[in-house]
Amino acid sequence: MIVVKERKYSNEIYFETEVYEDNNLICTNSINYKSVIRETNEITYLLLYTPQMEPVSEVFGFLNSNKINQSINSRIKSLQALKLLYCYQSIISKELKDFDTSDINGLKIFLKGLSPKGSFIKFELTTSRNNETVNGYLSVYRQFLEYLDFENKALFQKSNRKTLVSLPDWEVDYSVNKFQSNERIPRKMVEVPRYISVEEFQKIIAEIRSNYGKKEEIIVRLMYQCGCRIGEVLGATGDDFVVEKIKDEYVTTFYIRNRFSDKKFQLAKTCMKIVDKKQYHLKDYKSPGYGYQKVIIPEDLYDLINEYIEEAHSMARELKYDNYYKNTIADRVSSSDDYEDENYYVFINSQGRPLSQTLWNNTLRKICTTVGIELDKDTKEHNLNHRFRHGFAMFNVQYLNCKALELKERMRHSNLLSVSRYFRPTLSDQIQIKTDFAHSLYEVIPELKLKE
């Protein structure tokens, strides 16, 4: 019998194995794959070391070459997933490419942190993970095997099924290829609002205009009125807000793109990731939809942004000169000679540095608490910033009767399935939708309604 015990040292998980024979301890062994994050010349490298402190070369190549264009958070999650994989491979003395269905099931139980007693191995695990996390790790393993040019039938096998994706007034049938090894994710029935309603947004704007300033109003309006993500907003620079001519009409526009100078909280999720300034000159970086995205913003919001920049940045240059020029200057990605001044991140704090997401989150929670909006108390499941983007989607559906394809474009998504996540009606919404449907049906078929 082998007993595998999870241990932790300085936030690093490792495993100890104890081998028993006739209930007598024969030997012990430590399985410790160490994950390391190193930054050299402004480039972040992720490494996995064996118990003998030798770097795992295939993991290095996968994380620092194959996945280099992914966000650092995504790469760190992949590193965590691979560390657990290598530990499990060592425990059962078998490589992932050779796993059968039984091995994959055992891996999933291991990842979940369950501790069943088997015929030969008994686990004593302490860290639990939900099905969504496990599926994310399985996705990393598939990508890793593809990178190594290996196949595994048990991990890659799919089954086709029809999934109905519905929003008001439209229905589309999709044939979804689901991996058989993926775990089922239960639907969460919660009544913490998934989106900011029109009435709530009115209260938020009133509170901001009474007790805050232009910066706070601009940020919530970019998220709610224009559907921007918080990272896109915090990464905005002066060069990104322009007036341009589109089809014989001058339009106020917000360009969303990533820069080498961006911090983690300033990244635009769906735009090209920048790891070298040379990428600014590539055709991909100049390609709409991939290198950058455009959002049309209202003229009054554009004017408010310029007013804020003039006031806040002039004051920061005067009172926080060193902080401002050391931290707030952003890469200029245009080759135009029209610019005289440095480019800069638009949203700054009182110290003249770029506004961090942590500081902004604290401000937003205060605002929402004041106006009576329900917040997550013990978890961060319903991202408060993202509720504004959900509100943008719900407004387009409920008030503008926006159809699926049009909503996909407005949300800047690449496929219709991802749009469906943004239709998150509350219980009250669902009651109203069903009531409206019943009334509409009675108008078409009057005899359907029972006489009182």
> How confident is the model over 309-345, as pLDDT tens digits?
999 999 999 999 999 999 999 999 976 556 668 999 9
How far is the C-alpha of 83 from the C-alpha of 47, rounded, in Å? 10
Nearest to 84, CA basis, from 40, 54, 41, 48: 48
How far is the C-alpha of 147 from the C-alpha of 143, rounded, in Å? 6
Domain membership flag for residue 218 = yes
Q: Which residues contact 179 (CB under 8 A, 6 or more apart)?
A: 138, 142, 155, 156, 157, 158
Q: Which of 122, 156, 190 is the last residue of a domain?
A: 156
Identify the segments of the chain with pLDDT beneath 50: 162-176, 189-193, 378-379, 381, 426-427, 429-431, 433-434, 437-438, 441, 445, 448-450
Give residue 69's domain range.
2-156
Residues 126, 20: one domain? yes
Q: Is 333 left (phi over 0), alpha (psi -120 to 50) or beta?
A: alpha
Residues 351, 249: one domain? yes
**R_g over Cα of the chain:** 26
Domain membership flag for residue 446 = no
How far is the C-alpha of 132 from the C-alpha of 446, rounded, in Å? 46
Which secondary-structure segment (H or E) carries 431?
A: helix 427-444
For residue range 68-120, what is the model confidence (pLDDT) as tens digits? 888 888 899 999 999 999 999 999 999 999 999 999 999 999 999 988 776 78
Q: Which residue has the tokens 């224009």?
A: 226
Residues 93, 214: one domain? no
Q: Residue 377's pLDDT is what?
A: 58
Domain membership flag for residue 443 = no
Number of domains in the chain: 2
Q: Residue 156's pLDDT is what?
A: 92
Domain membership flag for residue 106 = yes
Residues 223, 362: one domain? yes
Domain membership flag for residue 99 = yes
Q: Which of 126, 156, 186 is the last residue of a domain?
A: 156
Angle 406-412-414 (CA atoms, 0-180°, nearest 5)?
A: 90
Domain membership flag for residue 374 = yes
Name the pTM for this structure: 0.60
Contact 292, 249 (CB under 8 A): no
Which stretches within 189-298 are classed as H helix? 198-211, 214-224, 230-234
Residues 323, 375: one domain? yes
Q: Residue 190's pLDDT is what?
A: 41
Contact 84, 106 (CB under 8 A): no
Q: Which of 103, 126, 156 is the last residue of a domain?
A: 156
How far is the C-alpha of 292 from the C-alpha of 234, rounded, in Å? 16
Q: Residue 152's pLDDT is what?
A: 92
How far is the C-alpha of 188 from the C-alpha of 351, rounded, in Å? 41
How far is the C-alpha of 99 from the C-alpha of 28, rounded, in Å? 25
Q: Residue 378's pLDDT is what?
A: 46
SS percent in the chain: helix, strand, coil, step 5: 45, 20, 35
Burial (0-12, 13-18, 19+ Cβ within 10 Å), 7? middle
Residues 285, 140: one domain? no
Output the DSSP codes for 84-130: HHHHHHHHHT--GGG--HHHHHHHHHHHHT---B-SSEEEE------
What number of helices (H) and strands (E) belong to the chain? 15, 11
Contact 267, 71 (CB under 8 A): yes
CATH of the domain at 211: 1.10.443.10
Any idea how long the chain is? 452
How far is the C-alpha of 79 from the C-alpha of 62, rounded, in Å? 10
How far is the C-alpha of 390 from the C-alpha of 109, rounded, in Å? 34
How far is the C-alpha of 76 from the C-alpha of 63, rounded, in Å? 9
What's at 372, amino acid-wise? G
Contact 17, 91 (CB under 8 A): yes
Tokens read off for 113: 């942190």
Q: Residue 61's pLDDT is what?
A: 95
Q: Residue 446's pLDDT is what?
A: 63
Domain membership flag for residue 143 = yes
Tokens read off for 328: 């707030």
